Amino acid sequence: MSERIVRTLCYFSDAPEADVVARLQELDQRLQQAGFTVQTRRLCGRAADLGALDRLCDADLPGCLGTLDRATATAVMDDFLRAGALSFNLDLGDGVLDTDADFLFRIMRAKPSKTFQFTYTFNNPHSSPYFPSAHRERNGFSLGLQPTNLAAGCTALEPWLQRMQQTWETLCSLLDGEPDFLGIDSSIAPLSGGDGSLVAFIRKLHGGFAYSVTTDTYLRISSFIKEHNPRPAGLCGIMLPCLEDDELAAEYAAGEFSVERNIYLSLHSGLGVDTYPVGVDEKPEKILDILRTLQGLSNKYNKPLSARFVSDGRARTGEATDFGNAYLNDVVIRPL
């Protein structure tokens, strides 16, 4: 039987204190009693809340500062680098400057593990519970699933989609009476291997990932999760986290998940470049080229896109990574 997993339960608050943490615990227990596995509880505030968030948050309760502009990101960078389990995203929707790659390279040099907690965003919606893209518009909670696990045992696309819709409806029946319920981010969020891998399921449908890229499967998935979610919040797209999905990492290692293919899939179905490895010797100009492409496509098609590049602070292009991160597969880095 497929497992119903809440990947993230996130509370958005403009005054993060112990009572908000207690509310998260209460919601966690309610979901578990209803038969859901809750992987993570999270807390999203604002840059002004950095101190309070850092005191409240740890590995078991990650925090997010939300979507920041360049000036704010620059002002909080030192504190962000010193902080524990805090993340943020940088809004570049108004255009990409020559200096925007500096944010990534500063993090790579100073504390490379924090590249996992930073992303560039374009037309980023509010209320997504997925980090580091989360952004608070108003107080309340949203949640996102690990819906790949609902595909366990399915040999066709439609039964999986039906299971997702049934799960969303169950959650809404459980939570619609809560005045602080913001909704469900119906994004496809893969993690690890086996039933958690989107690519593993895609291979069952098509025999190979490369073949699937020019089918309409991703379009059908992305249309369904946007049109049939009874209480949408946040991103509601297909995540393609290069190093978090074990089978996608294997495709990258085999040369089948270039950044060009990643952007192509993101343009019509996905949400951008996510946990994509870069070497410490990568040229800032190439990062800027990719950011400008994503910014232009995001605006042209009025869709959210992002770019989260990760580095271990040591590996160069052509060398093997050593992230020391349970969520990231180690690979030999390819040039962008």
pLDDT tens-digit map of 140-199: 999 999 999 999 999 999 999 999 999 999 999 999 999 999 999 999 999 999 999 999
pLDDT of residue 79: 97
pLDDT in tens, 34-90: 999 999 999 999 999 999 999 999 999 999 999 999 999 999 999 999 999 999 999
pLDDT in tens, 11-45: 999 999 999 999 999 999 999 999 999 999 999 99
Among 58, 52, 60, residue whose Cα is nearest residue 85: 58
* 268 pLDDT more than 90: no
Residue 176, class by beta-carbon neighbours within 10 Å (0-12 exposed, 13-18 middle, 19+ buried)? exposed
Would strands 305-310 and 118-122 be described as parallel, antiparallel, or unpaired? Answer: antiparallel
List Cβ neighbours of 107 (8 Å cut-off, separation of 6 or more): 81, 114, 115, 118
Query: CA 121 from chain center: how many Å?
Result: 11
Residue 335 lies in a domain: no
Residue 173 lies in a domain: yes
Judge contact between 330 and 320, C-beta under 8 A: yes
| CATH, residue 145 | 3.20.70.20
State how far the alpha carbon of 252 is from the alpha carbons of 7, 32, 131, 170, 264, in Å. Answer: 24, 35, 23, 36, 15
In this structure, what token pair is assigned to residue 290? 């990719």
pLDDT in tens, 221-257: 999 999 999 999 999 999 999 999 999 999 999 999 9
Residue 162 lies in a domain: yes
Residue 326 lies in a domain: no
Residue 330 lies in a domain: no
Residue 142: left if φ>0, alpha if ψ -120 to 50, beta else—which one? beta
Q: Which domain holds residue 171?
A: 5-310
pLDDT of residue 2: 73
Where residue 1 falls among pLDDT bands split at 50, 70, 90?
low
Residue 325 lies in a domain: no
pLDDT in tens, 114-147: 999 999 999 999 999 999 999 999 999 999 999 9
Helices (H), the chain: 18-33, 50-56, 70-82, 101-110, 157-175, 198-206, 209-212, 217-227, 246-253, 259-268, 284-301
Rounded to an integer, the average pLDDT of 283-309 is 97
Residue 86 lies in a domain: yes
Give the chain's domain count.
1
Give 290's Cβ-side CA count (13 Å radius): 28
pLDDT of residue 300: 95
Residue 317 lies in a domain: no
Distance (Å, whole) CA 197 – CA 244: 9
